[in-house]
Structure 1
């Protein structure tokens, strides 16, 4: 068996190409690079097939493709010394070569911008409808679970409460403590200028209890637990476990989404309360160190000037933040399509969208309570 080879004798604008050996399909991968190196831009090319021992369809395709490439470059290609059987096969393959794909020039300028904007609008609208439908299914499943508690998967619920809530306590407490320290330190630097250091208690209490405590807790939960929800359920989607659940009659919403969302709804107020306590503690500690406001004075001032509504407003927001984080995370997981890369992309999208929705909901609550005068 003589493996094929190719030689080129080139002079000015003409060349003679000799193909030797057995040009069979099994050898095409090894010699294709040599065929691709044949220079274009020649005016006359002779393909000498005298040394060609045998050829099959794959080899004929390789010669026909090279011939067409040379002719496209402006060369006149002649095939010489080919055996009748080889010539007939080459003619047949050449006749049935598919037409080369022509790359169409896409729209440019304003048309391209408008087309891109239109595609983004349609895609965004379809995603919105999909998310809205998923939100409705989740709410319906939650209501059904509340009406029929025996349907709830308690083991899954407690497992998610542990992973999304209990294990998040250290990072949430540390975050709250540091926020209290920063608020007290920055507030002290400004209030000292006016001799109003004592008002740092109101600054810390209102900022932490009403806004920052629960808001930053929700952001941490979105980045920590929301991403975990998307990654775990998305991996199940890739491995077709969710399709298998539907096949045996299980609802993925009830089995996977409801325990996760319900766990967040239960644990978010608890985590927010822990963040509030840690924030007040950090603020009190820094006020004592930097301003000389003793813990007793801090607590007394806190009781006298801070309304309980500041705490309740933060706690009222918590279940809504939890519901949105859980729904967005699980919806993104259901959009995963067939690869680990898709899991990563949707996990990132889950965190970004969850944080955006949390901030948007917080803004709406701020406007709502402001209108109520609370």
Structure 2
């Protein structure tokens, strides 16, 4: 405060493009600089008794404009060096590659990112299996209440949307199949079309896609919000294993409920197909049921439902992995939630295609 009351003075004299500064050069005396200081080629600073960061910032700016700084004391030179280091540096843009080099670089980066993602998914799968073995060996550590609650959230509450979607898919299959098979007088085969399509592929696949969009996002959001609020760190501090508390009940609930949802989807799809066959082709429900039981092998049901636990593992592991990857901000939560849904749906479709190839090769 003494400096404020003392009314510091700055002396400035200019001659032949050289500006000589004397006295105290501080934030309080910057306004005393004459206009010629902005055009001087050299600044003579040996007469300065005092220099602060505001004046040093001005001098660094003049230096960047090409003005020379002369006569600095050791202390003043050190202050200018600190100001130079503290100033933000402009980003230097490197010349990007073009053509086939750019394509190869982008392809390589994506391949590496995919390999890293698969390695992390394998790690979380191992953590789930380890937690499952621990829960079997030590039932007291297993959280049955959490498992029941997640079964209700991921299974029971998903029944209406799964049943409605499958019913409409059955209606569409029957309608489109009838329109095509009428041309050949083979309307009766629409029952086989509906049964095989729904029981073998569409029932469980559409159910997994619905669950991936609904549950993978919920898993990421719930775990991610806990990660943002540092609740997971608090669990570790209290001696609780996040794999047992968070990952195991969520993934296991999906493994239990997804086959049940697949069965609900199969029944709803067959009901929708039977209804549309009755309306469009005049095939009675009794005839539909008779041909369904007579000509449709139970292998189709087994093939379809056998995919459900694998799909459940994929959806649950990807959702939990994305939740654990959330950072400290809401933007990362939204990005990881979207990424989890896309990855889960893509993985489900790819695995379903692999299942189809496998069952075709083994003749089932």
Per the normalisation by structure 2, the TM-score is 0.81
Task: State the 1:352 CA deviation.
Answer: 1.4
Among 88, 97, 100, the residue aligned to 1:108: 97
Do the aligned partners of residues 22 and 56 (structure 1) sit closer, same or farther apart at CA in structure 2, a change above 3 Å counting?
closer
Q: Does 1:220 align with 2:210?
A: yes
Task: State the 1:104 CA deviation.
Answer: 5.8
| Alpha-carbon distance between aligned partners in 1 of 2:247 and 2:307, rounded to the nearest angstrom | 21
Q: Does 1:316 align with 2:306?
A: yes
Among 244, 247, 263, the residue aligned to 1:273: 263
Moved more, 218-227 or 295-304: 295-304
SS at match of 1:203: helix
Task: State the 1:47 CA deviation.
Answer: 9.3
| Alpha-carbon distance between aligned partners in 2 of 1:269 and 1:91, rounded to the nearest angstrom | 75
Among 45, 55, 60, the residue aligned to 2:55: 60
| Alpha-carbon distance between aligned partners in 2 of 1:312 and 1:293, rounded to the nearest angstrom | 27
| Alpha-carbon distance between aligned partners in 2 of 1:296 and 1:102, rounded to the nearest angstrom | 75
After superposition, the C-alpha distances for 1:198-239 in whole angstroms (9 at most, x for unaligned) are 111111111011110010000000110111001101111122
Give 1:6's aligned residue.
none
Q: Does 1:332 align with 2:311?
A: no
SS at match of 1:249: coil
Would the aligned equivalents of 1:60 and 1:89 in 2 still touch at CA under 8 Å? no
| Alpha-carbon distance between aligned partners in 2 of 1:341 and 1:102, rounded to the nearest angstrom | 24
Task: State the 1:179 CA deviation.
Answer: 0.3
Over aligned residue pairs, what C-alpha RMSD do you find? 3.5
Task: State the 1:333 CA deviation.
Answer: 1.4
After superposition, the C-alpha distances for 1:68-87 in whole angstroms (9 at most, x for unaligned) are 2322xxxx5689xxxx9x99
Give 2:335's aligned residue.
345
Among 241, 248, 264, the residue aligned to 1:258: 248
| Alpha-carbon distance between aligned partners in 2 of 1:310 and 1:158, rounded to the nearest angstrom | 30
Query: Which residues in structure 2 correspond to 1:238-253 (within 5 Å)?
Result: 238-253=228-243
After superposition, the C-alpha distances for 1:141-168 in whole angstroms (9 at most, x for unaligned) are 2233234433320110011011101110
Query: Which residues in structure 2 correspond to 1:1-374 (within 5 Å)?
Result: 24=27, 44-45=39-40, 57-71=52-66, 76=67, 93-94=79-80, 96=82, 97-98=84-85, 103=92, 105-109=94-98, 112-374=102-364
Unaligned runs of 5+ in 2: 6-16
Would the aligned equivalents of 1:22 and 1:55 in 2 still touch at CA under 8 Å? yes
| Alpha-carbon distance between aligned partners in 1 of 2:215 and 2:318, rounded to the nearest angstrom | 12
Would the aligned equivalents of 1:214 and 1:314 in 2 still touch at CA under 8 Å? yes
| Alpha-carbon distance between aligned partners in 2 of 1:306 and 1:55, rounded to the nearest angstrom | 96
Moved more, 361-370 or 189-198: 361-370
After superposition, the C-alpha distances for 1:247-287 in whole angstroms (9 at most, x for unaligned) are 22211111111101111111111111111111111111111
Give 1:11's aligned residue.
none
Moved more, 159-168 or 235-244: 235-244
After superposition, the C-alpha distances for 1:21-53 in whole angstroms (9 at most, x for unaligned) are 99539x99xx9xxxxxx9xxx9x547999xxxx
